[in-house]
């Protein structure tokens, strides 16, 4: 009976620790609460995008300024979460005010040196500081790859991203507003195990399968004919890390019940 009691006590402690730790997930210093109404929602207050004048490929970068309504230092105490993207090439000529793209990638990085002084100022960011952080100056450790994404096809014809301009085709004529939307699959990074969930239903093409992350962008400022700045939001569903601990605790409970039943 003492063995049964000890086993149940251990299982209770494990389940208690699971219920506490499940309220906050921390991966590589980045933390968020999976119990929010939207499991994982990231917001970028300032996003930069540019279009290659020759190929039409879009690329850019930004910094995560909010995760599940938590701001600033609450996201990554002592560090910052940045990202850059590229490889999106036009599928065809613009269809009205819409341009579809294929391919593409996005990479999120944990930076422990906090090189971006002002998270809301694009002028303080570059592709290097929001990427791997390797400036070639021997100035400290490189950033750590937190999440790696690839474009997920939707609406058919290899489309992974869709841009819609309001007022004019972009470029070469600057629009008054530029919108973007796309889907991604998780393929690597520290947090891969938390976001490889295939739970985001893509628009119009269920036969393509579910994606892991959705991404939307809104651009309202255009410094030049081929550059734009704005904001962005991405959404996904995360898997709490302590799940295996809870399963182990439940296994201990089942074992204790089995031992007790045999003795009875």
Residue 99 in domain: yes
Residue 86 in domain: yes
- Write out pLDDT tens, residues 212-249: 999 999 999 999 989 999 999 999 998 875 544 454 44
Residue 29 in domain: no
233 and 157 in one domain? Answer: yes
Q: Residue 106: pLDDT above 90?
A: yes
108 and 71 in one domain? Answer: yes
Residue 27 in domain: no
- Write out pLDDT tens, residues 129-153: 888 875 544 444 568 999 999 999 9
So what's the pLDDT on residue 205?
Answer: 56
Q: Which residue has the higher pLDDT, 186 or 155?
A: 186
256 and 228 in one domain? Answer: no
Residue 31 in domain: no
252 and 211 in one domain? Answer: no
254 and 148 in one domain? Answer: no
Residue 173 in domain: yes
58 and 18 in one domain? Answer: no
Residue 185, domain extent:
36-240
What percent of the chain is modeled with pLDDT above 70? 73
Counting the structural domains of the chain, the total is 2
So what's the pLDDT on residue 122?
Answer: 82
176 and 129 in one domain? Answer: yes
Contacts of residue 12, defined as CB under 8 A and 6 or more positions apart, other chains included, come to: 249
Residue 192 in domain: yes
263 and 223 in one domain? Answer: no
229 and 109 in one domain? Answer: yes
14 and 77 in one domain? Answer: no
- SS3 sequence, the chain? CHHHHHHHHHHHHHHHHHHHHCCCEEECCEEECCCCCCCEEEEEEEEEEEECCCCCCEEEEEECCEECCEEHHHCCCCCEEEEEEEEEEECCCCECCEEEEEEEEEEEEEECCCCCCCCCCHHHCCCCCCCCCCCCCCCCCCCEEEEEEEECCCCCCCCCEEEEEECCCCCCCCCCEEEEEEEEEEEECCCHHHHCCCCECCCCCHHHCCECEEEEEEEEEEEECCEEEEEEEEEECCCCCCHHHHHHHHHHHHHHHHHHHHHC
Q: Residue 157: pLDDT above 80?
A: no
So what's the pLDDT on residue 102?
Answer: 95
Q: Residue 10: pLDDT above 80?
A: no
Q: How confident is the model at residue 109 (pLDDT cuts 50, 70, 90)?
A: very high
So what's the pLDDT on residue 138?
Answer: 45
233 and 220 in one domain? Answer: yes
79 and 4 in one domain? Answer: no
């Amino acid at each position: 009976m003492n063995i049964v009691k000890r086993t149940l006590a251990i299982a209770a402690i494990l389940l208690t620790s699971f219920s506490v730790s499940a309220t906050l997930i921390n991966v590589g210093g980045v933390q968020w609460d999976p119990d929010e109404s939207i499991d994982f929602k990231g917001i970028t207050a300032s996003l930069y995008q540019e279009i290659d004048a020759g190929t039409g490929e879009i690329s850019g970068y930004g910094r995560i300024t909010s995760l599940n309504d938590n701001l600033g230092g609450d996201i990554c105490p002592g560090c910052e979460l940045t990202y850059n993207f590229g490889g999106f090439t036009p599928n065809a000529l613009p269809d009205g005010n819409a341009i579809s793209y294929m391919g593409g990638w996005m990479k999120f990085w944990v930076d422990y040196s906090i090189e971006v002084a002002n998270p809301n100022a694009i002028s303080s960011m570059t592709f290097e500081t929001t990427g791997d952080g390797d400036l070639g100056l021997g100035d400290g450790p490189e950033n750590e790859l937190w999440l790696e994404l690839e474009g997920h096809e939707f609406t058919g014809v290899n489309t992974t991203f869709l841009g819609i301009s309001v007022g004019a085709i972009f470029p070469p004529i600057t629009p008054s507003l530029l919108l973007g939307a796309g889907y991604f699959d998780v393929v690597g990074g520290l947090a891969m195990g938390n976001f490889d969930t295939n739970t985001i239903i893509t628009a119009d093409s269920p036969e393509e399968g579910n994606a892991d992350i959705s991404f939307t962008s809104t651009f309202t400022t255009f410094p030049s004919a081929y550059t734009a700045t704005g904001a962005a939001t991405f959404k996904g569903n995360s898997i709490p890390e302590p799940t295996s601990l809870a399963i182990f605790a439940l296994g201990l409970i089942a074992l204790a019940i089995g031992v007790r039943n045999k003795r009875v």
